[in-house]
Amino acid sequence: MNDVLRRCLDDLEARIDPQQEEALLAAWRDFAYDVGSVGEDRFHGPIFSPRRARPAPPAVPWPKVPVNAALEDFDLMALQQFGQCSEQLAEASGAVLNVRMSTPPPLRFAAIGLNHGHIYMQIDILLEAGAQLVSYYAVEPELAAAYGQAYPQATLARSAEEILEDPSIQLIINAGIPCERAALGIRVMQHGKDYMTDKPGMTTFEQLKVEITMPCWPKSSPMWRSSSRPIRCTRPWR
């Protein structure tokens, strides 16, 4: 990190008011999580236009960095991105402070249920997209053994619950026995993870009509409040 970047970051940190930023973020969440006709609205104003309580101008000069120059140098990229945060503080705007990561961390995923060969297609597509296979589990030892040979980088979990309880895993894929896929999907979402399954995702109308009495999405998701209600379907998908 060069001296200019270090000086600018120290300046930015000194100007950030944590309480003000938390209040601003809470206001944006209330607006974003507004669910309209579903009820329990958090935002009740005619126009949403939040702003910080007071401007916080910089105490040191911030260099202007062209985007093309930032592409060639990590320090310049950081200056360009954090410089936008500096401008928001100086203007007392209502924008939430954020920067783009130069290299986002890979999506971490695991497999539960390996009965259909499509599981290998799912894996290969995710790996090709840059995701990271962490672990896998199957009740059938022979399926787990074949899978482990194909993907030695993954760890064989002791149980499905071990994967569900791993906070580092974001996505669980499944190509298990069809009649068991819907129930697993509910468990996965109740653990705050995304779920991708082979078709069919359900095999009976009763599974389609399932009532979920607890949230399937993490509380940080805008879907959480509406998903805490029972989900009811009155006609089958066509």
Q: What H or E segment, with its residue span, contains residue 110?
A: strand 108-112
Residue 202, pLDDT score: 77
pLDDT at 234: 36
Predicted confidence at residue 105, as pLDDT, reads: 80
Cα 204-205-211 angle, rounded to 5 deg: 110
Q: Are strands 171-174 and 155-156 parallel, antiparallel or unpaired?
A: unpaired
Distances, alpha carbon 112 to alpha carbons 60, 116, 130, 184, in Å: 54, 11, 20, 9
Is the predicted pLDDT of residue 27 greater than 90, yes or no?
no
Give the model's pLDDT for residue 229. Answer: 38
Domains of the chain plus CATH, in order, are 3-91 (no CATH), 108-227 (3.40.50.720)
pLDDT digits (tens, 9 = 90+) for 121-144: 999 999 998 899 999 999 999 999
pLDDT tens per residue across span 54-105: 999 999 999 988 878 877 788 888 888 899 999 999 999 988 887 665 566 8
pLDDT in tens, 168-218: 999 999 999 989 888 898 889 888 899 999 888 877 887 776 644 444 444
